[in-house]
């Protein structure tokens, strides 16, 4: 066996080890009985049916999408601006800034959740959708800054000079020249931010409104408080949509890398 084939096999096995436990929910969701077991003999789509019939699940889905869209837009605007600002900073200060923008990735989410919860209690934002949007947007910032910075580092600054020599002011330069060039990076960042917010459960448990839980919060409650296979159907839907969005985001960032 060649080294290359061995590498491929090892990679495949590790991949299966990572993915298989997740995929177990697919047969569970098709289980015809009211239990979280796997049935190999027969199957049904009743739990998916239930998901789309039950207003609790549908409301949670709507809340999640609304929060994720707002958080993603906010994070994309702020993150793109931050990436532009970072471009102009060099030296030690740049490293400090890079590290501070990356903190949401490094700090355990539970700590962020608790910290933000106490801050929001004081500001009256705890338990509101706006509060959750803010929290998700801030923690999604590094997911936007990273691909946008990568796109900017490949951006040829002489295009800015060309545009301004031909009569374009700063705003026109940004919208007509720079943004179309870095658009794949910005879109990738937006999608990553969307999926981050859509899937996030820890901060959502602390911060979301009790009357309007997000989908992950409802799933968490469902698993811990009852035995309802609808949660398996919800999981499959979340898994499928997240996979599509992440693949799209990855394809976009690769496109950005090529066109640079």
Partner 1 sequence: MADQTSLKSRTRWRTATRPQTSHGGVELRLTGLTRSFGSAIAVDNVDLTVKPGEFMTLLGPSGSGKTTTLNMIAGFLAPDSGRIMFDGRDVSSLPANRRNIGMVFQNYALFPTMSVRDNVGYPLRQRRVKASQRRSQVDAALEMVELGHLWDRRPAELSGGQQQRVALARAIVHRPPLLLMDEPLGALDRRLRDSLQSEIAAIHRHVGSTVIYVTHDQDEALCLSDRIAVFRDGRIEQLSSPSDMYEQPETSFVASFLGDSNILVGTFTRDGNLRLPDGTEVRCGPADAGRGDAAVAGPATVVVRPERMRLTELEATPRSGTNCLVGVVIEERYLGATRMVALDVGGDRRIVVRENSGAGQTRPIGSRLRVCWEPADGVWIDRGADRHGESS
Q: Please give the Cα distance from 222 to 72 (Å, whole number).
A: 26
Q: Tell me: does residue 153 bind partner 1 (CB under 8 A).
A: no
Name the minimum Å distance from CB 53 to partner 1.
47
Instruction: Give the DSSP H/E element, type plus range, for residue 8.
Output: helix 3-23
Which of 106, 180, 226, 258 is in the footprint of partner 1 by CB under 8 A?
Answer: 180
Which of 92, 167, 225, 226 is in the footprint of partner 1 by CB under 8 A?
Answer: 167
Q: What single DSSP character describes residue 175?
A: I
* Structure tokens given for 15: 């991949």
Q: Looking up tokens 């793109």, which residue turns up?
A: 80
Q: Please give the Cα distance from 240 to 232 (Å, whole number).
A: 12
Name the minimum Å distance from CB 188 to partner 1.
17
Q: Tell me: does residue 156 bind partner 1 (CB under 8 A).
A: yes
Q: Tell me: does residue 35 bind partner 1 (CB under 8 A).
A: no
Size of the site for partner 1 (CB under 8 A): 18
Contact stretch for partner 1 (CB under 8 A) within 43-51, 130-138, 163-171, 213-221: 163-171
Q: Do 195 and 242 meet the contact criterion of CB atoms below 8 Å apart?
A: yes
Beta strand spans in the chain (E): none
Q: Which residues bind partner 1 (CB under 8 A)?
A: 156, 158-159, 161-169, 172, 176-177, 180-181, 259
């Amino acid at each position: 066996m060649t080294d290359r084939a061995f590498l491929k096999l090892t990679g495949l096995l590790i991949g299966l080890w990572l993915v298989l436990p997740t995929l177990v929910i697919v047969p569970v969701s098709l289980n015809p009985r009211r239990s979280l077991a796997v049935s190999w003999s027969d199957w049904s789509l009743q739990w998916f049916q239930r998901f789309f019939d039950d207003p609790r699940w549908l409301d949670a889905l709507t809340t999640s999408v609304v929060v994720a869209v707002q958080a993603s837009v906010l994070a994309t605007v702020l993150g793109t601006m931050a990436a532009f600002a970072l471009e102009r900073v060099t030296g030690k200060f740049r490293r400090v800034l890079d590290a501070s923008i990356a903190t949401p990735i490094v700090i355990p989410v539970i700590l962020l959740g608790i910290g933000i919860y106490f801050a929001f209690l004081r500001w009256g934002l705890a338990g509101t959708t706006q509060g959750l949007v803010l929290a998700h947007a801030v923690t999604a910032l590094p997911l936007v800054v990273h691909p946008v910075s990568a796109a900017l580092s490949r951006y040829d600054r002489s295009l800015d000079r060309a545009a301004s020599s031909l009569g374009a002011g700063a705003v026109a330069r940004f919208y007509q020249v720079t943004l179309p060039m870095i658009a794949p990076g910005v879109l990738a960042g937006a999608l990553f931010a969307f999926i981050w917010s859509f899937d996030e459960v820890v901060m959502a448990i602390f911060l979301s409104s009790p009357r309007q839980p997000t989908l992950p919060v409802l799933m968490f409650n469902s698993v811990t408080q009852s035995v309802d296979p609808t949660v398996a159907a919800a999981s499959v839907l979340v898994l499928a949509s997240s996979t599509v969005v992440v693949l799209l985001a990855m394809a976009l960032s690769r496109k950005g890398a090529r066109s640079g």
